[in-house]
Amino acid sequence: MNVILLGPPGAGKGTQGELLARRLGMPRVATGDLLRDAVRRGTALGAKAKSFMDKGLLVPDAVIVGLVDAVLERPDTRGGIIMDGFPRTVPQAEAVDRALARRGAHVHYVVRIEVPQAELVRRLVRRAEQEGRSDDTPETIEERLRVYREETAPLVDYYRSRDLVVDIDGTGSIDEIAARIDEALDR
């Protein structure tokens, strides 16, 4: 099963993605984690991505499409994958479709996690204090939410037209949200 987690920064994609990956016995892959790791290790990918990440902007599709192809060619993602933080643009979504089609697969579900804006900001400010992520500053938080609305939210329609979207209320406890996702994927 190939599942995409879609939602703004702070919606809980990472937390829920990890839980879902464990329940389904499939890897969760987060492009944000891969990019942060590349920056830390000082690779060519990291060098291309860093300035965009620090500003809260999307790393260009040309860079991400190569990364997505590499992820979807990994043997451990053959039996299914939880995609966290990608695709984030329509060209990326098309790249995911193409990469899956190459191995005779397709997207099964797009789990869209919805959280009111004020709650997102609260969560991101808290994460900034706890994790010290360089892109969790007050200015960048606002920028990332804007980028989500403008560049990533259109993906909801892209997938809605194919009837792949399940809408999940992302408020409440971690267990409550996990139960909602389980129920939606069980249909």
The Cβ of residue 47 has, within 10 Å, a number of other Cβ atoms equal to 11
Q: Is 88 a catalytic residue?
A: yes
Residue 112 touches ligand AMP, criterion: CB under 6 A? no
Q: Which of these is catalytic: 122, 127, 146, 180?
A: 127
CB of 127 to ligand AMP, least distance (A): 10
Other Cβ atoms within 10 Å of 49 Cβ, number: 24
Place of tokens 């869209």: 112
In the 8-state DSSP scheme, what is residue 110? E
For residues 110 and 165, is the Cβ–Cβ distance under 8 A? yes
- 85 lies in the site for ligand AMP, by CB under 6 A: yes
Query: In the bound complex, what is the minimum distance in angstroms from residue 186's beta carbon to ligand AMP?
Result: 27
Query: Which of these is catalytic: 36, 112, 144, 180?
Result: 144
39's tokens: 């920056």
Site for ligand AMP in 121-140 (CB under 6 A): 135
61: tokens are 């599709």
Stretch that binds ligand AMP, among 25-33, 37-45, 114-122, 177-185 (CB under 6 A): 25-33
Residue nearer to ligand AMP on the CB measure, 133 or 185? 133
Q: Is 144 in the site for ligand AMP (CB under 6 A)?
A: yes
32 touching ligand AMP, by CB under 6 A: yes
**Residues 6 or more apart in contact with residue 141 via CB below 8 angstroms:** 9, 56, 121, 124, 125, 128
Residue 32 to residues 17, 57, 89, 127: CA-CA distances in angstroms? 13, 12, 14, 15
- Which residue lies nearer to ligand AMP by CB, 141 or 165? 141
59 binds ligand AMP, rule: CB under 6 A: yes
C-alpha span between 181 and 175 (Å, rounded)? 10
Binding site for ligand AMP (CB under 6 A): 9, 30-32, 35, 52-53, 56-59, 64, 85-86, 88, 92, 135, 144
